[in-house]
Structure 1
Amino acid sequence: MVRQSDGNQPTNGQSSRNVSEKSSMAISEVETVIFSDKEVQPSDTNDIDIAERLPPSFAESEFHHIQRRQVNTARGTLLKWSEVPSRYPNLSNAWEFAGWGSTYYMELEPSDIDQFHTTRDKRTLIGQWRATSIAGNDLIASVLYSIGPCVLQAGKYAPISMFLVALLMYPMKRIITEVATALPLNGGCYNAMLNTTSKTVAAVAACLSILDYLATCVVSASTASAYLAAEVDLPEKFSAFVLTIIILIAFSLVCILGLRESSTLTLSIFTLHSITMAVVMIASIVMWGRQGNNVLIENWNIPDPEGTSPLRMIFNGFCIGLLGVTGFESAENYIEDLKPNTFPKVMNNMFSFLFVINAPMTLLVVVLVPVPVIQANAANAVSILGQYAVGGNRWLRVWIMVDAVIVLCAGVLTGLIGAIGLVQRMASDRILPRLFLIRNRWTGSYQYIVLAFLVLSIIMYVIVGGDTTSLSGVFAVAFLCSLSTFAAVNILMKYKRGRLVRFIKVNLLTSMATLGVLIGSLIGNIIIDPEIAEYFVIYFCVVLLVVLIMLKSAWLFKLCYWLFDQMDFFHRFESFSKKAESFIQNRIQNIRKAPCAFFLKTDEPHVMNKAIQYIKHNEDCGHIKLIHIYNKVGDIPELMENHHRTLDEIYPKIQIDLVFVQGTFDPATVDAISRQLDIPKSFMFISCPGKEFEFNFGDFEGVRIIML
């Protein structure tokens, strides 16, 4: 229930007055409108009749005391609008005035609060092992396509490279855990960046994640095709190249049909693959015991290629071997759906599987299989190991092929679902077109996201000509960029969000050293194959361009408005000029009409101004609501309304309201306010909570932190 102190309607739909009206409005008139005992105007008659029929609540009666105390402080400091030179000499700038802000009281009913708890109680949360299986499928499947390229680069030193990769992932596990437990929000590094830096930087991080998901799908599909083509004689028209495209199309149709990856399915696939890898390793160890170290000695005696050194080969293998940890960063994408205190356990499980499988499996490859054989069959290295592990029989190799196709196709589905979630969130945050929020009328799936992702995947695969090595390189760059983002945001959190409570805290030097190693590995991958940088840059620039156009759409329309103003020729045609002027104005106003909210605790003007500045620079918003939640009237800062009126005058292009709500600042109250004001939580902002804050930040479901 909204009760305005000035008798106007709530400002969600408030019409804007033009600049001349605002400049002519007297200070006394403004003071009459805001927090004053005004005279009854004819237009107010209906409101007065309604008010007489409805007795005021106790909370509203207290609110009248607020009015009297606020209006008695610092009167006469209200600033007056003054005319400023316009950058549009030929066109009107009256549309830039957003309208006067107002002050009103909003009352929450008990049913509003209860609705939050009812919704929360209906949620189904995921346990430790089911959560591990979702991201773990990508992680333990990555060994299928990472060992071959690693041996190709490092040769006999590949086990050392893989061991170093596992060592790097230990501090990386702690870094991701710190970020995720401090900011437990779905969306991965995009949301982490959104709460520590600007929205533009977060959008760039999201582009890296999109490319990561894109490469995950393409590499998983192409590797599954390679494993199948190595064991089955495919018809001439169904080569591995064509089969990869068919797999991408098939699983895109699965998503469009609304069949989502369930935790039960992923756990089954995860269990199957774990058993398969255990059988391969046990069989390989038994064969090693039977035949001894003959193959290992032969491999070790192979001379290094000319112009290289063992250290360089180990480094190259390390750079490529980081492909074997893809999926390590994926668990944060669904952290809001996990049971409490589950995420650190999930990360420990992921690291344990990585440490037990990747480096030991690479060692067994070098022990049992001649390095030239692996280098000639890099795309299906684990299948070759399976054949050598059972003395040349094919039964284990066929088993590995079936397992690889299943788990890698599950990786395609995981990449698609991850991309759907991220693009959906970006579209909700007004970064990508709202077209992506349209659901299929029959299945409820986000069909346009899936179709766009399918087209990009096929184009990427066709551009590289199905070359698995080049695809792996593009994948490595995208993945390493995404992983480096977590290390970077960890450092930013220590500087900007140091008050946030987190499960663990990583030493700053450790975070900086890990970031340095990841950047070095990224550069190393580009040096190994410079062409992958070209492919990566092309895709990244295309995705980034689309994102930035949407993010800066209001600015682009303003630029068009200015360019049109400068073209005197068009202004000779009065009818066309007016239509074009009106069209651009309406587009800008439609973009800026959606309100944002900031939960205000203090009346300090620099805090209020800092919040307004953040919203001004990061959101296309012409309407801001400053919300103060109070328990008792005496708790309300005395100068809050006075400073609000001053700031409303300072920012004529932004309508600034002050909303008082009696209650407690908690997730249920914020949820009720979000629903009443029709403001998404991703456009509601707060200051960084401290250690004494009794709630988990993730319980606020998307509310953003914008200042220390």
Structure 2
Amino acid sequence: MSAKSIGESEQTDAPAEHIVTFAPQTNNDNFSTRAQLSYRAGNTVDLSVDNSPLQTEPGRQQRYLEPTLEASTLKSEDMLKTSSVPSRTPNLSNAWEFAGWGSTYFIELHSPSSKSDHSSETLLGQWRATSLSGNDLVASVLYTIAVVVATAGRYAPISLFIVSLLIYPFKNILNEVSTTLPLNGGAYNCLLNTAPKWFAAIAAAVSILDYIATAVVSAATATAYAGSYLNLGEIGIFWITIGVLCVFAGIVLLGIRDSATVALAIFLLHLCVLSILMVAGVGRWITIGNDVLSANWNESISENSALEIFYGVCIGLLGITGYETSSNYIEDQKPGVFPKTMRNMWVLVFLINAPLTLITIAIMPLNIINDHPGDIVSVLGEYAAGSWLKILVTVDAVIVLCAGVLTGFVGVSGLIERMASDHILPQFLLRRNPITGTKHFIIFGFLVCCVILYSVLKGDVTSLAGVFAVAFLSVLCMFAIGNLLLKYKRHRLYRPIKVSTGVAMFGFASVFTALIGNIVFNPSLARYFFIYFAAIYGVMIIMLNRIWILKPYPLKIVDIAFTQYYLFSQTTFFYLDKIVALHKYKIGDMIVRMIKSIKKQPVIFFTNTDDIHILNKAVLYIKNNEPTGTVKFLHLYSNIEDIPQRLEANHQILDELYPKIQIDLMFIQCPFNPETIDAISSQLDIPKSLMFISCPGENFRIGEFCGIRTIML
């Protein structure tokens, strides 16, 4: 292995303490200059050179580090690791191009803890886990019935019954995805482990929109129910809705988060109220007979019944919102609980949505239903049993819908925090409020997005529901795509629940058709959705390409079908070099510092092989998806003899092959288990979200490792 100069060694981000041994190749097989480098972060480097023969004891590391590749290129200690190609910016510094030579060293790991960080946390059982997402699910019927009746008329119960049948196979699609990769993040987490980062960012963007729509629709509907009883005008409802959003933003800002026990209590209360409502409604139906149902059936005659049912199905999928949220907290659930929560939620959809809609049409005239899109269920209570049931339903609706607002704020906080940790969103979002300890930038940003959406749509619940439906269906599409990619690109992963490819394709076709149907039915809703999506996704694209924006190269947007698309312009640093008048302001130095700051965060790739094509694929993935200039190959071993023979030699080749990336090789004598990963993350100060592995076999439970990413088959 080649020796490094002291200056170059200082370029490496060293962990707390290392002993590094360098053995450059010589023509003498018996003697080799050996340099031992001991350093601690922030201290002076002490380099000692010893020309004595290499000893086999006491350290076995020296024996391994003897040269193994005759054709390796000997690097000069005084040579910078940079390309000989002339610079595009001859007038400005190219210091950002220097990555530093990679190093090879053995690390003595601090004793890992015997238990994982999450072992002491109380995990959720079946009903508490169901209640957290079930509150959104059972609350959705409060604003879905009127919207579906307005769309499908007398066929609304049929449309919602078809929805309950369509969602059954999708239950298993979500089960396979979430139990194979049991990590918080839902569709975003799945695509992050199976697709390029820019594609995972699409799932993240639509998930954020889904949370925005959840909070806004829940707040607007809660205010509409309260307003119907308190006789508030439209202006009053508008401003009170904004006030509700601000209040819950303040609650989350103060650090008060939803409790599983409180969520369970609200969930059971809502189910009890809906049960009373349905029993009272059936009793009223028996009393009055089928006269109202017959009148409604004869009143809404259409020339195209199939189209009405289809559009009813498209918008009726709004009635299962909340179905996708359980995967966002799967790490907090007990093993085996997630499939039960999905089963419970499907049963609730089947027993509530279509039957309650049928009861509504059976006892309420269609014109009354269409006149109360925001508070239809409370009016149904009045028709079924009088004002007492209307009051009960109104109070229940306000409580459960406000819980939905809180769920939106809490859920998006966790998702955005995860995305900022993955460097898809700006790092300032992770700053904590010094008083409350909460991440206030996330909360304020989400509140602003909610208020703008509500204001742009002028508080119209029907339009808000349409935007919600598009966002929700987009998330389901991402789950279906993730499932198909999981089968193709990560088929070796352990999958406790499996669905056939045909079921996955049917699920995708169903929700994608419904998505297109919603857009065709009301194109203006798609406009609002895509404006929001473009704004959120644009921020992510800038974050993913911020080094390209600063450096003198074309800005790469995406790679699709092996074709690279670039902006037809050069970037900041290139033009700054051409404008000589700006050089005196030292803007170039500032950009160099920014680039170095962005690239200083190292990433780890765990390797158990010396196959150079696998190592190269790892570097290529990191180069295309992570804004870093330091890659650390990490090999965990039991015995020194088990280390792959050509790993060091192939590491040297890759270190020379990528002049803008410093590639280190590290060895730790430890088993590969969650405790070791926790200790490595703590000692090297590298988050587990920036630790990568190739796809393991079926005996490996990747969910136990809490965040490491699979990046190749």
Q: TM-score, normalized by length of structure 2? A: 0.89
Helix, strand or coil at the partner of 2:117: helix
The equivalences for 1:157-168 within 5 A come to: 157-168=155-166
Query: Post-superposition shift, 1:704?
Result: 0.3
Match of 1:269 in 2: 266
Helix, strand or coil at the partner of 1:121: coil
Q: Does 1:340 align with 2:335?
A: yes
Aligned partners of 2:59, 2:7: CA distance in 1, in Å? Answer: 20
Aligned partners of 1:680, 1:9: CA distance in 2, in Å? Answer: 27
RMSD between aligned residues: 2.8
Aligned partners of 1:144, 1:31: CA distance in 2, in Å? Answer: 79
Query: Post-superposition shift, 1:61?
Result: 2.3
The aligned amino acid for 2:504 is S
Match of 1:701 in 2: 706
Please identify, of 584-593 and 293-302, the stretch whose mean Cα deviation from structure 2 is larger.
Answer: 293-302
Aligned partners of 1:591, 1:413: CA distance in 2, in Å? Answer: 34
Match of 2:90 in 1: 89
Match of 2:413 in 1: 420
Helix, strand or coil at the partner of 1:120: coil
**Structure 1 pair 61–529 and aligned structure 2 pair: CA distance change class (3 A):** same
**Structure 1 pair 569–514 and aligned structure 2 pair: CA distance change class (3 A):** closer
- The match for 1:211 among 189, 209, 212 is 209
**Structure 1 pair 320–46 and aligned structure 2 pair: CA distance change class (3 A):** closer
**Structure 1 pair 92–37 and aligned structure 2 pair: CA distance change class (3 A):** same
Could you tell me which runs of 5 or more consecutive residues in structure 1 were left unpaired when the two chains were aligned.
17-26
Helix, strand or coil at the partner of 2:59: helix
Query: Post-superposition shift, 1:564?
Result: 4.6
Helix, strand or coil at the partner of 1:344: helix
* Per-residue CA distance 1:635-677 (angstroms, 9 max, x = gap): 1111110110011000110000000111211111111111111
- The match for 1:674 among 673, 677, 681 is 681
**Structure 1 pair 155–572 and aligned structure 2 pair: CA distance change class (3 A):** closer
Query: Post-superposition shift, 1:118?
Result: 5.9
8 Å CA contact 1:6, 1:104 repeated in 2: no
Aligned partners of 2:74, 2:220: CA distance in 1, in Å? Answer: 66
Aligned partners of 2:401, 2:301: CA distance in 1, in Å? Answer: 33
Please identify, of 631-640 and 324-333, the stretch whose mean Cα deviation from structure 2 is larger.
Answer: 631-640
Q: Does 1:472 align with 2:469?
A: no
Q: Identity over aligned residues, as a percent?
A: 48
8 Å CA contact 2:213, 2:471 repeated in 1: yes
* Per-residue CA distance 1:245-303 (angstroms, 9 max, x = gap): 11111111111111110101101110110000010111112222222222222222224
The aligned amino acid for 1:491 is L
Match of 2:584 in 1: 575
* Per-residue CA distance 1:494-546 (angstroms, 9 max, x = gap): 11011111221111111111111111111111122111011111111111112
**Structure 1 pair 14–562 and aligned structure 2 pair: CA distance change class (3 A):** same
Helix, strand or coil at the partner of 2:608: coil
Match of 2:188 in 1: 190
Helix, strand or coil at the partner of 1:91: coil
Aligned partners of 1:472, 1:366: CA distance in 2, in Å? Answer: 21
8 Å CA contact 2:550, 2:573 repeated in 1: no
Aligned partners of 1:205, 1:289: CA distance in 2, in Å? Answer: 47
Match of 2:604 in 1: 597
* Per-residue CA distance 1:447-496 (angstroms, 9 max, x = gap): 11111111111111111111111111111111110111101110111110
The equivalences for 1:378-527 within 5 A come to: 378-390=373-385, 393-527=386-520
Match of 1:607 in 2: 614
Aligned partners of 2:110, 2:576: CA distance in 1, in Å? Answer: 55
Please identify, of 375-384 and 597-606, the stretch whose mean Cα deviation from structure 2 is larger.
Answer: 375-384
The aligned amino acid for 2:393 is I
Q: Does 1:137 align with 2:138?
A: no
* Per-residue CA distance 1:31-79 (angstroms, 9 max, x = gap): 79xx99425699999858999xxxx999x723233224xx2x2223237
Match of 1:643 in 2: 650
Helix, strand or coil at the partner of 1:660: strand
The aligned amino acid for 1:610 is K
Match of 1:655 in 2: 662
**Structure 1 pair 31–481 and aligned structure 2 pair: CA distance change class (3 A):** farther
The aligned amino acid for 2:280 is A
**Structure 1 pair 505–31 and aligned structure 2 pair: CA distance change class (3 A):** farther
Match of 1:301 in 2: 298
Q: Does 1:257 align with 2:254?
A: yes
**Structure 1 pair 631–232 and aligned structure 2 pair: CA distance change class (3 A):** same
Helix, strand or coil at the partner of 1:379: coil
**Structure 1 pair 574–366 and aligned structure 2 pair: CA distance change class (3 A):** closer
Q: Does 1:221 align with 2:219?
A: yes
8 Å CA contact 2:89, 2:577 repeated in 1: no
The equivalences for 1:676-691 within 5 A come to: 676-691=683-698
Match of 2:547 in 1: 554
8 Å CA contact 1:221, 1:408 repeated in 2: yes
Aligned partners of 1:57, 1:130: CA distance in 2, in Å? Answer: 59
Helix, strand or coil at the partner of 2:663: strand
Q: Does 1:588 align with 2:595?
A: yes
The equivalences for 1:60-139 within 5 A come to: 61-68=59-66, 71=67, 73-78=68-73, 83-110=84-111, 112-114=112-114, 117=115, 119-139=117-137
Match of 1:368 in 2: 363
Match of 1:23 in 2: none
8 Å CA contact 1:91, 1:565 repeated in 2: no
Q: Does 1:350 align with 2:357?
A: no
Match of 2:565 in 1: none
8 Å CA contact 1:5, 1:104 repeated in 2: no
The aligned amino acid for 1:187 is G
Helix, strand or coil at the partner of 1:131: helix
Aligned partners of 1:217, 1:684: CA distance in 2, in Å? Answer: 33
Aligned partners of 1:345, 1:471: CA distance in 2, in Å? Answer: 31
**Structure 1 pair 232–611 and aligned structure 2 pair: CA distance change class (3 A):** same
Match of 1:21 in 2: none
**Structure 1 pair 262–603 and aligned structure 2 pair: CA distance change class (3 A):** same
Aligned partners of 2:336, 2:32: CA distance in 1, in Å? Answer: 53
The aligned amino acid for 2:435 is W
Aligned partners of 1:40, 1:659: CA distance in 2, in Å? Answer: 17
Match of 2:556 in 1: none
Match of 2:636 in 1: 629
**Structure 1 pair 359–590 and aligned structure 2 pair: CA distance change class (3 A):** same
Aligned length: 673
Helix, strand or coil at the partner of 1:78: coil
**Structure 1 pair 9–602 and aligned structure 2 pair: CA distance change class (3 A):** farther
Aligned partners of 1:146, 1:379: CA distance in 2, in Å? Answer: 9
**Structure 1 pair 637–580 and aligned structure 2 pair: CA distance change class (3 A):** same
- The match for 2:243 among 246, 250, 253 is 246
Helix, strand or coil at the partner of 1:626: strand
Aligned partners of 1:31, 1:670: CA distance in 2, in Å? Answer: 37
8 Å CA contact 2:211, 2:412 repeated in 1: yes
Aligned partners of 1:40, 1:250: CA distance in 2, in Å? Answer: 63
Match of 2:289 in 1: 292
Query: Post-superposition shift, 1:233?
Result: 2.3
Aligned partners of 1:135, 1:36: CA distance in 2, in Å? Answer: 67
Aligned partners of 2:583, 2:466: CA distance in 1, in Å? Answer: 57
Helix, strand or coil at the partner of 2:444: helix
Aligned partners of 1:36, 1:159: CA distance in 2, in Å? Answer: 86
Query: Post-superposition shift, 1:433?
Result: 1.6
* Per-residue CA distance 1:408-454 (angstroms, 9 max, x = gap): 01100001111111111111111212221111222211111111111
* Per-residue CA distance 1:89-139 (angstroms, 9 max, x = gap): 3334343120000100011233x243xx16333212111111100000000
Aligned partners of 1:258, 1:492: CA distance in 2, in Å? Answer: 38
Aligned partners of 2:6, 2:670: CA distance in 1, in Å? Answer: 24
Q: TM-score, normalized by length of structure 1? A: 0.90
